[in-house]
């Protein structure tokens, strides 16, 4: 291969990456509108790259231990961030439950139904982190800066995330009872 071609290849690769980022941004907007219309999101197409830079610690796929040992709120936030990076947008509670359990999260409950009830309660109570859309899906509140805030029924909006994670255990225990 001729070294004369390397600058042209590098330039074209950069241009391709920029176009892929723009396409993913557009797809994110399309999926947001599809979600609001009650339609399923379109899967990522060519150049399915995340909006996060390499090495940022963002999850790119769910492995059997992705959520193992994490608190419920942390696992859900990471999962929703993963969906956002893949332009999938918000998710229904059952989708969240299935994804985090497949990623190694262990609910401290006797049955899947009780765990799902606890997950739904946490999503409803933590309005400073999670936002329920009219179609019943949940996203992160940060994704919707212009949305009307829901009434907070959980900890205060300025509370410490570490304390919120500690409360996750209480939510899981309460759901198990």
What is d(CA 17, CA 49) in angstroms, rounded to the nearest whole number? 8
Same domain? 27 vs 80: no
pLDDT of residue 33: 81
What is d(CA 167, CA 138) in angstroms, rounded to the nearest whole number? 20
pLDDT of residue 147: 85
Same domain? 32 vs 62: no
Out of 15, 33, 49, a domain closes at 49
Same domain? 124 vs 143: yes
Same domain? 35 vs 86: no
Same domain? 43 vs 63: no
What is d(CA 79, CA 71) in angstroms, rounded to the nearest whole number? 12
Same domain? 69 vs 109: yes
Least confident range from 9-18, 116-125, 139-148: namely 9-18
Length of the chain: 177
pLDDT tens for 67-107 read 999 999 999 999 999 998 888 889 999 999 999 999 999 99
Q: Is the pLDDT of residue 54 over 60?
A: no
pLDDT of residue 23: 75
Same domain? 69 vs 44: no
Same domain? 124 vs 162: yes
Same domain? 60 vs 114: yes
Same domain? 18 vs 67: no
- Give how many domains the chain has, as a whole number: 2
Helices (H) and strands (E) in the chain — how many of each? 5, 2
27-60 CB burial, b ≥16 within 10 A, e <16: bbeebbeebeeeeebeebeeeebbeeeeeeeebe
Q: Is the pLDDT of residue 125 over 50?
A: yes
Domain of residue 108: give its range. Answer: 56-176
Out of 9, 25, 49, a domain closes at 49
If residue 131 lies in a helix (H) or strand (E), which one and from where to where?
A: strand 130-132
pTM of the model: 0.55
Same domain? 154 vs 67: yes
**Residue 44: band (very low, low, confident or very high) from pLDDT cuts 50, 70, 90:** low
Same domain? 85 vs 134: yes
pLDDT of residue 170: 47
């Amino acid at each position: 291969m001729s070294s004369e071609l390397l600058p042209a290849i590098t330039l074209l690769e950069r241009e391709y990456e920029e176009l892929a980022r723009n396409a993913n941004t557009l797809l994110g907007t399309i999926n947001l509108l599809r979600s609001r219309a009650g339609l399923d999101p379109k899967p990522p197409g060519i150049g399915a790259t995340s909006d996060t830079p390499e090495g940022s610690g963002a999850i790119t796929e769910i492995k059997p231990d992705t959520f193992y040992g994490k608190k419920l709120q942390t696992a859900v936030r990471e999962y929703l961030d993963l969906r956002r990076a893949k332009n999938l947008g918000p998710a229904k509670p059952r989708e969240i439950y299935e994804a985090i359990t497949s990623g190694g999260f262990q609910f401290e409950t006797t049955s899947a139904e009780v765990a799902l009830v606890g997950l739904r309660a946490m999503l409803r109570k933590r309005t400073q982190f999670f936002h329920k859309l009219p179609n019943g899906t949940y996203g992160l509140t940060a994704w919707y800066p212009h949305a009307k805030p829901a009434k907070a029924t959980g900890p205060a909006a300025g509370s410490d995330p570490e304390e919120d994670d500690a409360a996750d255990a209480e939510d899981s225990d309460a759901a198990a009872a």
